[in-house]
Chain A
Amino acid sequence: MSLPPVLRASVTPPELELIACQELVEIIPLIPMEKTAFIAGAYGPLRPPHRARIPIWMALNLKQKKKCHIIAPDWLSVEYLEAKIKDETTQTQFTELPFHFAEISRVLLDGATDDLQNPDKLRTLLQDLREARQAKARAGLQNLEHSSLRLSNLSAMEINEIRPFFIQAMAVLKQLHVPPK
């Protein structure tokens, strides 16, 4: 491989953010734009004040130039996250969350703070959520066996954190495993 050793282990978080930014988000544009073709697809037309769905990378770019307002996705609100935290702390399974929730919330909190309600409360809730799930992931890893590992509803960032570890651990376990005759 041509990647430097540091990057060979797994995907880096900034790369994950880039992948996550491909998701669509709703905006209120402030400038009109015709349907334009980009590499990833054609988006538009933008007709203020009607809403439109465009990828997050484009929304952030427009936001920086003050040409749109971003509308937060449904799950990025105080009530939804509080409910999820309650579920998370009561069940042993992981609750269902959008696959890229960590990256998208990070990117929106940095780039579109004024479009979100109560950003600092959101930050604390997201932090709580992450810690709860991390505890569960650690507990779940104790069930590691040589052939398979089942952890449902993990998000992209969490998988990325675990991946280097459990690939190596599973390889070792496989070597140690003696198949029953």
Chain B
Amino acid sequence: MVYLPLPDQASASKPSYAEAYANILKAHRQSPLTSAASVIILVAPDVDALCASRMLADLLKQDDVMYRIIPVSGVSELEKVRDELAMVSELHTLILLNMGAILDLPSEEWFGGFSTQMSVHVIDSARPQNLSSLFGGGEAGDRIVVWDDGSADKLEQERKAWEALTYEPLPDSDDEDSDLDSDEEPIRDDDDEEEYEQTTGKRRSLGEGDRSSGKRQRVDRERPRRMTRDDYDMYSARLEKHYMGGTWHGQSAAGTIYILATILERVDNELLWLAILGLTFQYTTSRISRDTYDIYHSAFRDEVFRLNPPPPTGENAMLSMNPDDLSVRATDELRFMLFRHWTLYDAMLHSGYVAGKLGIWKERGRKRLTGLLAKMGFSLLQTQQPYSHMDLDLKKTLVQKLNDVAPLYGLVELAYPSFIRCFGYRSQPLSAADAVEGISALLDVAEGIKLEVEVEGARNGGEWFGGGKIWEATSSMRDNSRRKREERGEYSTRITKLRESLTLSMTVHRKIIDQGTSIIDRRDIRTMRNHRVVILTQGRASRPLLASRETAITTRSKRKSLPFVVACLNESTQSYLVVGVMAALDFGDVRKNEFGLAFLDAKERCNARTRHGSFDTSVLEINQEDLKVFLETLCEGADA
């Protein structure tokens, strides 16, 4: 029902975040059945949701509210969780983090059947949002509260269109009347397919809505005012435009909770750091553009200066001042993967942007990289040293030189402003980007993949490190993986574990680059009209985020900017994991991802057996036998 505008637009009649939060507290304190299961938080498996859940947990703990956090990996698991939750009678608040924006929540299929005392809060950065969750009224709709960032205010046209189509009877003309009377179902289904194709659940539920309005039409045939056919077309087109435009992202969930904390005047460094991590995650995974990042960044920068003592300058800028120093400082970040923990050469080699532009998969590309470094005045020996052992003056001039020399090779915008956090004397200060990388590596990988972790220093023949270690995490069942995801939440603040995860992350990146290089080498990429397709049969990279990172890298490798599709075989389930990535011209340029719709379209037409494993609509699991047909339909569909 309700969507909450940003607090500065709130007024007495339009509640915003603080009121919604106060309602949660009130419900918790007043309900006689309050127990640990009264407030349940469902968390999607990405860094932003994880940070948001930590922040929310801290706020609730300070208010003495008992809560439970349940990680949910995808839409199918959400359905299972929903069925379990229907049994819980003392549940009165459900909070969804980074999931559910696109789902039609007031419908019977989701939360329509729950008790009226319960409320569902949706804090999701994914757009577009489902209009019936936003605007739906009535008993079912009033339960759903969507925490918005101001973009829903601009959906006035869509609101009118949706309300017209849902509540008002549909236009009738003579032949349509008879058609409607006799053959109501097929026409409805047609309409549904055109307009409301996002997830299967949603389609079915909106179909119901239409059917009910059709019944209404039959009942009160005498109603004088009806929509004209033109109006109907206009409204449908409006809704179609809203849903068919592809997916993009709005304000991060962590940022939303930070705004809540600001209104409650309870911000501190911990919350600020987690919010920064959420924003950095959105930027480094290309979910938001550079401009959006800059806007939010400047807001956070002001907060950092407000809450932290002024940082030391000069030599000590990157060191903690004392053992209790937990401050956050602003700094410039380079777009190389974990460059402070690796050698500079490795970092540039493994960063998607640089690798793509310079063409790392060929020997010539690697030479270009060394050439670039040489032009900046960094000797090969220096760049092969771990970053912390590089000469200090080289480090200082690194950013400067990059800005001067890199444009010659076509690399622009290599530096962006970001933050670092000190951890007293327990560890070196850690930058936001590195922390995000470490946490995502843990989320993606540390469940069931056999990897070889190379201990740093082994390559240079370090005496005190041995060879590599084999890091094998046994594959885990659903409960196990759930527990591990809950543990991840603690890792964002437990710095020792986080440092270990950085090693894991580096290994993951190496694997990705190796895989990507081998793909390009073997010329496995087939261009099918509008897309590029790669099919992997080795099944090593069996996680969606890994696959999407691979696609991101290989996309940039080609000069033509075409959308890219990668399919990985998962032998254990006999299915392929298909990921679609839009081609982005530059790093800062983010296009709306239209693969969600394209996949659904293709699936319809070829009747493939598919499953959406995660909340990202551009990732799909499909049966082995159906893959070929599916891909062909996909490419045809792009033409149509």
Contacts and interface: CB of A to CB of B under 8 A. Distances in A.
Contacts of B322: 120
A120 B326 CA distance: 13
Q: Which of B62, B268, B324 has the most CB of A within 10 A?
A: B324
B62 A120 contact: no
A97 B635 CA distance: 82
A129 to B, nearest CB: 19
A157 B322 CA distance: 28
A65 B62 contact: yes
A130 B322 CA distance: 22
B323 interface: yes
B266 interface: yes
Contacts of B62: 64-66
A66 B64 CA distance: 12
A164 B63 CA distance: 43
Interface in B317-340: 322-324
A80 to B, nearest CB: 20
Given A64-B62, A65-B62, A66-B62, A120 B266 contact: no
A113 B266 contact: no
A113 B268 contact: no
Contacts of B64: 65
A120 B324 contact: yes
From DSSP, what is the main secondary structure of chain B's interface residues? Answer: loop
A119 B324 contact: yes
Interface in A69-124: 113, 119-120
From DSSP, what is the main secondary structure of chain A's interface residues? Answer: helix
Nearest to B268: A66
Nearest to A109: B324
Nearest to A123: B323
Contacts of A119: 324
Interface string B53-87: 00000000011100000000000000000000000
B204 to A, nearest CB: 45
B324 A66 contact: no
A120 B323 contact: yes
A113 B424 CA distance: 13
A66 B270 CA distance: 13
Contacts of A65: 62-64
Nearest to A61: B64
A29 to B, nearest CB: 15
A114 to B, nearest CB: 8
Nearest to B325: A120
12 contacts: A64-B62, A65-B62, A65-B63, A65-B64, A66-B62, A66-B266, A66-B268, A113-B324, A119-B324, A120-B322, A120-B323, A120-B324
Given A66-B268, A120-B323, 10 more contacts: A64-B62, A65-B62, A65-B63, A65-B64, A66-B62, A66-B266, A113-B324, A119-B324, A120-B322, A120-B324
Closest 10 CB pairs of A and B: A65-B62, A120-B323, A120-B322, A113-B324, A119-B324, A66-B266, A120-B324, A66-B62, A66-B268, A64-B62
